Structure 1
């Protein structure tokens, strides 16, 4: 078995394919899936396949528009027991010096302290969580834009 990267209960993560150099993420082993806050989303067809476009405001960097192919739509039950149909996509996650592809759903996390929730499916096999620590892989004050995303 390869060694796993230790992460704290909160970390800065990057979603480079979506133009996010840094997003605050809560590491939540109680959540099965990962969620990303979006302010708005819209559907369209590209090459005969369903896609989703979305706008998010990750914090210090202002609003970001992104798009991705839709992988699935599933009902997700949130921590309050509310059921919502959510769009899922696959995207690379960069955290702790490694990059791996994860599945993430788009959600309205307005009012939450973390625009991203990293669930256990994204963590499995690559990360171990130390719930007594946070920001083990650095703190960000202002993220620099990713090359080619301006």
Structure 2
């Protein structure tokens, strides 16, 4: 049994109650700099899914693991549909009732822009970029994520310089998981049973 959670209906809704205590990012140069490790936990704000993120000053744009990326049109605007298979990294806490590879999250988001990535020894790659909210170190942020298959990488999320610059984040390249605050997250079972008002859950 595979649970496919369709999350497009969350676009105009509010974040789950688990996140009401998270601080909103000021996104201002006056914000006091915060130092985080080169690897930290992030929680995608509309799902409660917890993922490992690498803070990488070598990348300008952040990126998010995505498979089956498909462009489509909605109300004369360009949107993108993509999946996040939780079995590719298995970072989500579970009570053992459901296996990670049984849960696939499907998102639909407006396309913010499209970029072309030059790869050494290979053809350039076209990637869609979307804006998404997430929580790190107890604070909610919004940034641009390019969508790419990161299934062969250790970290499903990469946070780049644009996020660190906009939110006044410094990174400690010698340490990981040093955030002083945590973000609340859902268990694998809770994600699979998202409230019908927040997501349409289909069993395949």
TM score, norm. by length of structure 2: 0.64
CA deviation after TM superposition for structure 1 residue 125, in Å: 3.8
Q: Does 1:40 align with 2:68?
A: yes
Q: Check 1:42–1:20 CA distance in 2 against 1; reply closer, same or farther (3 A cut).
A: farther
Q: Where is the helix percentage greater, Structure 1 or Structure 2?
A: 2
Q: Does 1:74 align with 2:115?
A: yes
Query: What are the residue-to-residue correspondences of 1:74-93 with 2, within 5 Å?
Result: 74-77=115-118, 80=120, 82=122, 83-93=124-134
Q: Any stretches of 5+ residues in structure 2 without a counterpart?
A: 1-29, 93-99
Q: Deviations over 1:22-62 (max 9, x none)?
A: 11111101111111111211121111101101111242353
Question: Quick one: which of 41, 44, 57 aligns to 1:29?
Answer: 57
Larger Rg: 2
Q: Any stretches of 5+ residues in structure 1 without a counterpart?
A: none
Aligned residue number for residue 173 of structure 2: 131
TM score, norm. by length of structure 1: 0.84
- Check the 8 A contact 1:13/1:24 in 2, yes or no: yes
Q: Where is the strand percentage greater, Structure 1 or Structure 2?
A: 1
How many residues end up aligned between the 2 structures? 147
The list of structure 1 runs, each at least 4 consecutive aligned residues, that deviate by more than 6 angstroms after superposition, is none
Q: CA RMSD in A?
A: 2.5
